[in-house]
Amino acid sequence: MAANEHGGKLLEVSGLTMDFGGLRAIDDVGLDIFAGEIVALIGPNGAGKTTFFNCVTGIYEPTLGEVRIHPPGGASRRINGMKPNRITALGMARTFQNIRLFPAMTVLENVMIGRHCRTSTSIVDAILGSRKAAREEQECVEKSYQLLKKVGLAEVAGEFSRNLAYGAQRRLEIARALATDPFLLLLDEPAAGMNPQETHELDALITRIRDEEKVAILLIEHDMKLVMNISDRIYVMEYGKKIAQGTPQEIKENPKVIEAYLGEEAHA
């Protein structure tokens, strides 16, 4: 689907530039995401993809450029320099390349932590065990359990997260990000370390999240089969610059992209 066949614009990044000392890691990169889209950001190792994510989600403040979100039904706002937890509360959630679960907590508790930015119970309510606190806790448990069902982990809700297989830990991270009720979900290498069967299940899960939860998705991914299968549009970076954007078919046939990836394959 072309971008204009989707809903309104959700994320607008323009002129994004990030310098670390004398090194320019990202150079004048722009990107838009519309409601209902799955968009992939690809490129050889060291292209600047994770740095781009870190700038968009508040981990780094970009040197130049603008990151703007347009929450559905809410006011458009510039989020450069905002703290990551504030950005999450505004409706943009992410997962990380290196899994960041709480290993000594259960699978269900890991998802419940994601719900905390959506609860309004005060510490006083919690200490006094007010009716409001009890109701919110119950809603939190129910919502978290529903998300575990969605990602196929309901049967292991009481297990410690460290005991899960690698692919299941990745799905748990996605469930925890969804628990924040995002309108936009950023996935950093979700298929990393997965076997072909797990990748195939992830492919179906990401599409289902977009369709059922009405969440737009931006993903960084090295698995080209997954990218080509599920993306509406693809942006390609190399050496911190955007070198191409388009549909999977356009990207597959783009000489600049072929050249960038042939170089990587030669070193693989």
User: Which position has the higher pLDDT, 116 or 36?
Assistant: 36
Q: What is the per-residue pLDDT for 37? A: 97
What pLDDT, on the 0 to 100 scale, is given for residue 6?
63
d(CA 8, CA 195): 36
pLDDT at 258: 86
Q: Model pTM greater than 0.75?
A: yes
Run of H or E including 209: helix 196-213
Q: What is the pLDDT of residues 111-164, one digit of tens each?
A: 998 887 555 555 556 566 667 777 877 888 899 999 999 999 999 999 999 999
Asked if pLDDT for residue 4 goes beyond 70, the answer is no
Q: What is the per-residue pLDDT across 159-179, written as a single tens digit (0 to 9) for each?
A: 999 999 988 999 999 999 999
Superfamily for 99-181?
P-loop containing nucleotide triphosphate hydrolases (3.40.50.300)
Task: Please state the rounded mean pLDDT for residues 49-68.
Answer: 95
Region 199-227 average pLDDT = 93
Domains of the chain, by residue range, sit at: 1-91+182-268, 99-181
CATH superfamily membership of 1-91+182-268: P-loop containing nucleotide triphosphate hydrolases (3.40.50.300)
Domain 1-91+182-268 and domain 99-181, same fold? Reply is yes
Q: Please name the residues in contact with 94: beta carbons below 8 A apart, sequence gap of 6 or more.
A: 53, 57, 177, 185, 186, 187, 188
In the prediction, which pLDDT does 2 show?
Answer: 41
Instruction: Indicate whether 19 pLDDT > 50.
Output: yes
